[in-house]
Amino acid sequence: MTPNNTPQRVSRDTGEPGYALVGYYILTFGADGSYHHQGHVTAFLGDGHYLVELFSALTGSATYAQVATIHDMRAGGWRFYHQNTQWRDAAEQLQADANRDDYAPPGAPPTLGIS
């Protein structure tokens, strides 16, 4: 418990406070709802900061790492997946949807179907 008697989030793997998101796979989105990045939360840095490794949507290889806060994650509408198979399936579905001619990202204005 934290000093104000609220439960403190802990890691499923280590049981340590603050590490609850470490190990999760993520998908990030732009302000218009379009799919941006796929990644993996690799470390808790303290004070609400996490190290996130991002991957290429084309090759699946690691591209770079960034530090993200809980605020960044909420504002970016990040989706979290505990298993990489669920994460890969979701990313593949997003990519397939984006390749459709009539696709409009969630949160984006609908297209008129005019080309």
CB 68 within 8 A of CB 53: no
Q: Residue 46: inside a domain, yes or no?
A: yes
Alpha carbon distance, N-terminus to C-terminus of the chain:
57
CB-count burial class (<10 Å; 0-12, 13-18, 19+) for 96: exposed
Q: Give the tens place of pLDDT for each residue, 89-111.
A: 888 888 777 777 665 655 544 43
Is 91 in a helix, a strand, or coil? helix
Q: Residue 108: inside a domain, yes or no?
A: no
Comparing 28-32, 54-58, 89-93, 98-102, which segment has the lowest mean pLDDT?
Answer: 98-102
pLDDT computed for residue 71 by the predictor: 86
Q: Residue 20: inside a domain, yes or no?
A: no
Q: Give the tens place of pLDDT for each residue, 35-49.
A: 778 899 999 998 889
Q: Residue 14: inside a domain, yes or no?
A: no
Q: In which domain, by residue range, is 65 found?
A: 25-98
Q: Residue 73: inside a domain, yes or no?
A: yes
Residue 114 has pLDDT above 70, yes or no: no
Residue 74 has pLDDT above 80, yes or no: yes
Domain count, the chain: 1
Q: Residue 43: inside a domain, yes or no?
A: yes
CB 34 within 8 A of CB 106: no
Among 47, 48, 38, 34, residue whose Cα is nearest residue 99: 34
pLDDT computed for residue 54 by the predictor: 92
CB 46 within 8 A of CB 32: no
Mean of all residue pLDDT scores within the chain = 74
Residue 115 has pLDDT above 50, yes or no: no
Residue 3 has pLDDT above 80, yes or no: no
